[in-house]
């Protein structure tokens, strides 16, 4: 059968028809909101490259966490930018470090909100790399994963509902799983940043997380944007090591990767709509060049249509309100 017998427009005629035949249904249950925590009290320091996003002291982060939960967003992803940075990421390892205190403060104020803790060294190291730096500047994989596992344990002890390693070292999911299990946290899930690309879209985030590398770049650990098969390999390795959820990051420019990963695995797939993707939309909307609400919902729908079950996005609270309205 073909035209004029076939007319796809028949089921597109009215809103009621379009709603009934819709294939992808975005809901707020799928959204995770990133929060950036800094030292101090009453601090709400706007991130200039991310309109509407601020670095927050713990007391302010608790307020935002409440608002996010009230909007219907089920989880936040916590990043900390401690003041004291050193070669060992000591602030991330401290039992009462900034991230640990933020996790317990948010958990006690909002028990109904899941707190995912980003596990990385870059916000707490003076060199801004995601692992330990060897003399000469190379990143040492095996000592880094030991430290990352201790950081993850620290966050689990503070009450994190999940730990999310974003460093892209080899074997870190296994190292984290072992340390968590040995210390009574067998039930803490690992959300692995499994296919994380060395992307130019992280620029605004690095201002927010104070995590720009002091020298070089992250291409010796994050993935080459040109590679797709390698993403499937990374994801399968992380699942073998014990990852409960796997992530593709960034989202928009990597929809084919989301699609491939969805087809290759049985665990939930998370996509991270990163800072640069957020800021592009914000900047164009501020100039009146696009309709922000429509553009945001279209990108999130596209990410879900590609195969993501969950989406980390700086638009989470707004999107949740729009989806409810």
By annotation, the residues acting in catalysis are 196, 249
Task: Verify binding: residue 144, ligand PBG, rule CB under 6 A.
Answer: no
Region binding ligand PBG by CB under 6 A among candidate stretches 100-108, 117-125, 134-142, 317-325? 117-125
Those residues with Cβ within 8 angstroms of residue 84's Cβ, 6 or more apart along the chain or in another chain: 90, 91, 124
Task: Verify binding: residue 211, ligand PBG, rule CB under 6 A.
Answer: yes
Q: Among 107, 63, 92, which Cα is nearest to 167's?
A: 92
Task: Verify binding: residue 130, ligand PBG, rule CB under 6 A.
Answer: yes
Q: How far apart are CA 240 and CA 244, in angstroms?
A: 10
Among 117, 120, 180, 269, binds ligand PBG (CB under 6 A): 120
Q: For 10, which DSSP code? A: G
Region binding ligand PBG by CB under 6 A among candidate stretches 9-17, 116-124, 151-159, 235-243? 116-124
Among 166, 174, 188, 304, binds ligand PBG (CB under 6 A): 166
H-helix segments, the chain: 15-20, 58-70, 90-93, 98-109, 141-158, 172-182, 203-209, 229-241, 255-264, 275-286, 292-306, 316-324
Task: Verify binding: residue 313, ligand PBG, rule CB under 6 A.
Answer: no
Among 33, 36, 116, 205, binds ligand PBG (CB under 6 A): 205
How many residues touch ligand PBG under the rule CB under 6 A: the total is 13
Give least dist CB 298 to ligand PBG, A.
19
Among 105, 122, 180, 257, binds ligand PBG (CB under 6 A): 122
Locate the DSSP E strands across 114-268: 114-119, 132-133, 139-140, 162-165, 191-196, 245-249
Q: How far apart are CA 248 and CA 123, in angstroms?
A: 21
Task: Verify binding: residue 275, ligand PBG, rule CB under 6 A.
Answer: yes
Give least dist CB 312 to ligand PBG, A.
8
Q: With H, G, I as helix, E, B as strand and everything else as coil, classify residue 193.
A: strand
SS3 content of the chain, % helix, strand, coil (to 5): 45, 20, 40
Nearest-CB residue for ligand PBG = 205
Give least dist CB 9 to ligand PBG, A.
39
Long-range contacts, stretch 218-221, CB < 8 angstroms, 24+ apart? 218/129, 218/130, 218/168, 220/138, 220/139, 221/130, 221/131, 221/139, 221/167, 221/168, 221/169
Nearer to ligand PBG, 198 or 284 (CB): 198
Region binding ligand PBG by CB under 6 A among candidate stretches 4-12, 109-117, 203-211, 258-266? 203-211
Q: For 42, which DSSP code? A: S
Among 116, 185, 202, 254, binds ligand PBG (CB under 6 A): 202
Nearer to ligand PBG, 122 or 160 (CB): 122
- For ligand PBG, the binding residues (CB under 6 A) are 118, 120, 122, 130, 166-167, 202, 205-206, 211, 218, 274-275
């Amino acid at each position: 059968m073909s035209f004029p017998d076939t007319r796809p427009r028949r089921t597109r005629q009215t809103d009621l028809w379009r709603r009934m035949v819709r294939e992808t249904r975005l809901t707020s249950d799928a959204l995770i909101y990133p929060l950036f925590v800094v030292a101090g009290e009453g601090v709400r320091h706007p991130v200039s490259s991310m309109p509407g996003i601020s670095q927050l002291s713990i007391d302010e982060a608790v307020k935002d966490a409440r608002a996010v939960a009230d909007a219907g967003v089920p989880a936040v992803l916590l990043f900390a930018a401690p003041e004291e940075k050193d070669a060992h990421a000591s602030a991330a390892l401290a039992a009462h470090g900034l991230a640990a205190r933020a996790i317990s403060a948010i958990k006690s104020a909002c028990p109904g909100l899941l707190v995912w803790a980003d596990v990385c060294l870059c916000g707490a190291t003076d060199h801004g790399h995601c692992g330990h730096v060897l003399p000469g500047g190379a990143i040492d994989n095996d000592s880094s994963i030991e430290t990352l596992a201790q950081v993850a344990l620290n966050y689990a002890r503070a009450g994190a509902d999940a730990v999310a390693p974003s460093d892209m070292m080899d074997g870190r999911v296994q190292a984290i799983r072992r340390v968590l299990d040995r210390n009574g946290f067998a039930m803490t899930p690992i959300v692995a940043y499994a296919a994380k690309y060395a992307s130019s879209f992280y620029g605004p985030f690095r201002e927010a997380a104070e995590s720009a590398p002091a020298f070089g770049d992250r291409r010796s650990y994050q993935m080459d944007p040109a590679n797709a098969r390698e993403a499937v390999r990374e994801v399968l390795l992380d699942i073998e090591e014990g990852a409960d959820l796997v992530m593709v990051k960034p989202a928009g420019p990597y929809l084919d990767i989301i699609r491939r990963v969805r087809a290759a695995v049985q665990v939930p797939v998370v996509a991270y709509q990163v800072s640069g993707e957020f800021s592009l939309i914000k900047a164009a909307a501020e100039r009146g060049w696009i309709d922000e609400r429509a553009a945001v919902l279209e990108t999130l729908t596209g990410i879900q249509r590609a195969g993501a079950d969950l989406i980390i996005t700086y638009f989470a609270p707004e999107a949740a309100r729009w989806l409810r309205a």
